[in-house]
Amino acid sequence: MSKTLVVYLMAGPETPELARAAEAGGADLIEIGFPFSDPLADGPVIRRAAERALAQGMRTAECLECLRAIRGQVAVPLVPMTYSSLLEAYGWERFASDAHDAGATSLIVADLPVDVQPELRRVQLLAPTSTDDRIALAAGRTDGWLYLVTVAGTTGARAELSPALAPLVERTRALTDVPLYAGFGISTPEQAAAAGALADGVVVGSAALVAAEGGTAALERFVGQLRAALV
């Protein structure tokens, strides 16, 4: 059984077309970044994409409309990824409801601890620094899968897969049967294959955005290379 491939794209006028290309390349799930002016977890590539999206007028309402447009173009699950300040300003329940109505299948809030706003159903994140107690709590509250952050730092391409992933997977598997998808720093088919050998799926963000800068054909080709590596 092949591993799950999650591709990250930033919300913007061109994103529905890019999402269609990502799906054609073999993406199983697409994360849609809702830009935020101070994205603490994000490296330079995603920061630039967020700045560009904000300059294009992509505020929360516009991002939700973009999500709705993407939903009309692809069949794979769509998961918005953003920060708690955006939801605080928009309204927690209102955002969850509006995102669902626009076609979201779940939600990721990068800076929201598992025990804050526990009523908000979302994919929980784990880091190499997570304790076993936090892992168990996150596993019990996550929505469908756990996002394993492979490094203690920001997103972005790296030269090699983090050595912290294997022990994090081992500790998490001892506590839950929830699917584990690894992200942060996975940028090549070789790294995707190595991460996929450990986890149930991989998340590719910065490298996908770089590929998307070359247009839909370049993105589809890159996603296809990742898909071929995840056997």
- Give me the active site residues, please: 31, 42
Alpha-carbon distance of 108 to 110, in angstroms, equals: 6
Tell the residue number behind the tokens 């391409």, with chain if given.
Answer: 157
- Helical axes 15-25 vs 216-229, angle rounded to 10°: 30
Tell the residue number behind the tokens 């590929």, with chain if given.
Answer: 211
Residue 210: which residues within 8 A CB-CB, separation 6 or more? 45, 157
Alpha-carbon distance of 211 to 162, in angstroms, equals: 22
- Decide: residue 61, CB within 10 A, 0-12 exposed, 13-18 middle, 19+ buried: exposed
Residue 222: phi and psi, rounded to 5, are -65, -45
Largest pairwise CA distance in the chain:
45
- The residue type of 89 is A
Alpha-carbon distance of 151 to 126, in angstroms, equals: 10
Residue 22: left if φ>0, alpha if ψ -120 to 50, beta else—which one? alpha
Tell the residue number behind the tokens 């770089």, with chain if given.
Answer: 210
